[in-house]
């Protein structure tokens, strides 16, 4: 049997709930011939208002579950988890427990690309409270290009409004409120980064609420292209990944509303399996 036919490794996607489905969808467009596992921790959502320790414990539990199910590489498709848990997992957990596996986030890939969109050198970020508090976008951009100024602000109730399918008028009003608040702090901002994966669903509405000509940047396509490039450079991981196309969806909790919203985020019907609580 050829080595190619023995490839069984999967790509794991972890999120605190639903938003990571927007990342998975873009990754699958770029790399359709892979086996994917998606795990949404809907039992503990949202992560954005939890402590750093809570976020870390839940994220690690999700990553380890995906590893047990055959993932060779896991993408934290959640800015909050990427900001508050990724580095510790990479530096303290992987070397000791899983030296041949990898965990990547979605913030660094975003940082590596967003500076090409700005002419003024001033970029705004809308994200969760935990992501904003971590100052991860500011810290990482300063390392890459200290001439670029990042200003992060919370997206208010946008994530909860999206998950609860809030009426359009309230959603639009909240978008106007959070964008005007951010832009009033720095009128030089010409690029707005959607630093919460939920916001991909309202990207067009956000574009309509900001000044004409302002760049509104989602993360899905950026992360997908960066992952493909990563695997091209890291053949030791790529050679373990199955080239058969499949995707399986798991969650820690799924009432009827959550199931309907997962279909909305992914864009088509999915078969959802519920697993026992992570921690």
Q: Round to whole Å and give the CA distance between 265 and 19.
A: 7
Identify any residues that bridge with 96 across adjacent strands, giving them in sequence order. Answer: none
Q: Round to whole Å and give the CA distance between 151 and 96.
A: 36
Q: What Å distances lie between residue 200 and 25, 193, 204, CA to CA?
A: 11, 10, 8
- The single residue of 104, 127, 196, 201 carrying the catalytic annotation is 196
Q: Is 177 a catalytic residue?
A: no
Enter the tokens of residue 33.
């011939």
Q: Round to whole Å and give the CA distance between 242 and 239.
A: 8
- The single residue of 21, 78, 162, 178 carrying the catalytic annotation is 78
Query: Pick from 153, 87, 147: which is nearest to 122 by CA?
Result: 147
| Residue that is written with structure tokens 């810290």 in the block | 139
Q: What residues are labeled active site?
A: 78, 196
């Amino acid at each position: 049997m050829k080595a190619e036919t023995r490839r069984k490794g999967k790509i794991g996607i972890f999120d605190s709930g639903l938003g990571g489905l927007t990342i998975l969808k873009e990754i699958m467009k770029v790399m359709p011939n892979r086996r994917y596992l998606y795990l949404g921790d809907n039992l503990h959502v949202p992560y954005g208002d939890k402590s750093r320790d809570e976020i870390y414990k839940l994220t690690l539990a999700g990553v380890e579950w995906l590893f047990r199910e055959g993932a060779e590489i896991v993408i934290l498709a959640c800015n909050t988890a990427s900001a508050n848990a990724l580095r510790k997992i990479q530096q303290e957990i992987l070397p000791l427990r899983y030296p041949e596996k990898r965990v990547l986030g979605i913030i660094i890939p975003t940082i590596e690309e967003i500076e090409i969109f700005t002419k003024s050198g001033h970029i705004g970020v809308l994200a969760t409270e935990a992501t904003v508090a971590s100052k991860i976008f500011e810290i990482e951009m300063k390392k890459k290009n200290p001439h670029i100024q990042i200003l992060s602000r919370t997206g208010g109730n946008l994530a909860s409004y999206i998950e609860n399918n809030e009426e359009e008028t309230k959603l639009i009003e909240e978008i106007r409120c959070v964008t005007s608040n951010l832009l009033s702090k720095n009128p030089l901002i010409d690029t707005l980064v959607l630093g919460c994966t939920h916001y991909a669903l309202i990207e067009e509405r956000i574009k309509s609420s900001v000044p004409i000509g302002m760049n509104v940047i989602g993360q899905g396509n950026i992360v997908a292209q960066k992952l493909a490039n990563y695997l091209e450079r890291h053949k030791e991981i790529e050679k373990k990944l199955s080239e058969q196309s499949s995707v399986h969806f798991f969650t820690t909790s799924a009432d009827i509303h959550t199931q309907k919203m997962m279909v909305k985020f992914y864009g088509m019907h999915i078969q959802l399996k519920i697993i026992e609580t992570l921690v």
